[in-house]
């Protein structure tokens, strides 16, 4: 899929705020954590309550963000993504269910976090313009993907002092029906793009896991 340059009122202000779309081509995330990141037990949890016994905390040494994920899931640092709207993230990590669905040699039941550094600080006053930018990028992706369907329209969200948006799609990954929710979260001058997806038969089972990941997500410091 071709990349797309950003345009509109925030193009100059926010460059290089560029959305990476992972919903169409998320590659396998079955590896172990690389040296640039760490996986810790409950002592590293950022949750205000006791960490569930069946979870671990992923913490990025380079970017400082963290989230909970199931102990049985596998972590891959620098997890790659296949469809972009241009630009490069400064950090990417994926967690995948090793017992989950696969297609074309790739894990389908996954969550991927991509981090982007912005040239401006995002606050509530510019969120309408940010929404317009997100809508333009998603519209471009939708126009190039005939089988994609919107299940839940783009809506504004807030998690752990981060403002942002989310949208849920369905599509086919190597012939396998997949559901995916994409989050675009902003903390100061940092954008976190979090994509969670699962094969349709596993979505109902995995959605509470994904929801817990998002609820536990703690941003790193603005730089």
Q: Does some domain include residue 124?
A: yes
Per-residue pLDDT of 165-203, as tens digits, reads 999 999 888 888 999 999 999 999 888 999 999 999 999
222 inside domain = no
d(CA 54, CA 72): 8
The answer to the question of residue 34 being in a domain is yes
Q: Give 75's contacts (C-beta < 8 A, 6+ positions apart).
A: 29, 31, 32, 33, 37, 39, 58, 69, 93, 94, 95
Range scoring the smallest mean pLDDT among 13-17, 71-75, 158-162: 13-17
Find the mean pLDDT for residues 102-122: 86
Confidence of residue 64 (pLDDT cuts 50, 70, 90): very high
What's 179's domain CATH number? 3.40.1000.10
- In this predicted structure, the answer to whether residue 65 has a pLDDT above a threshold of 60 is yes
Let me know: does 130 contact 157? Beta carbons within 8 Å: no
Q: Is residue 31 part of a domain?
A: yes
Q: Is the residue at 3 inside a domain?
A: no
Taking the CA atoms of the chain, what radius of gyration do you get in angstroms? Answer: 16
Q: Give me the number of domains the chain comprises.
A: 1
Enclosing domain of residue 167: 11-41+50-216
Most confident of 3-7, 35-39, 44-48, 207-211: 207-211
């Amino acid at each position: 899929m071709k990349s797309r340059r950003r345009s509109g009122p925030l193009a100059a202000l926010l460059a290089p705020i560029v959305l990476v779309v992972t919903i169409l081509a998320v590659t396998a995330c079955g590896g172990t954590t690389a040296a640039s990141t760490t996986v810790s037990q409950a002592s590293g949890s950022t949750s205000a309550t006791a960490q569930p016994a069946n979870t671990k905390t992923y913490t990025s040494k380079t970017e400082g963000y963290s989230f909970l994920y199931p102990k049985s899931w596998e972590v891959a640092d620098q997890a790659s993504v296949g469809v972009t709207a241009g630009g490069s993230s400064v950090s990417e990590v994926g967690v995948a269910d090793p017992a989950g669905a696969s297609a074309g040699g790739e894990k389908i039941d996954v969550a991927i976090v991509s981090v982007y550094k912005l040239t401006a600080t995002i606050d509530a006053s510019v969120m309408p313009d940010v929404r317009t930018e997100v809508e333009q990028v998603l519209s471009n992706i939708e126009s190039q993907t005939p089988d994609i369907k919107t299940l839940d329209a783009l809506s504004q969200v807030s998690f752990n002092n981060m403002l942002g948006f989310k949208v849920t799609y369905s599509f086919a990954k190597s012939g396998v029906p997949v559901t995916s929710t994409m989050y675009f979260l902003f903390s100061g001058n940092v954008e976190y793009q979090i994509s969670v997806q699962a094969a349709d038969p596993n979505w109902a089972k995995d959605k509470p896991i994904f929801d817990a990941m998002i609820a536990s997500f703690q941003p790193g410091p603005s730089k």
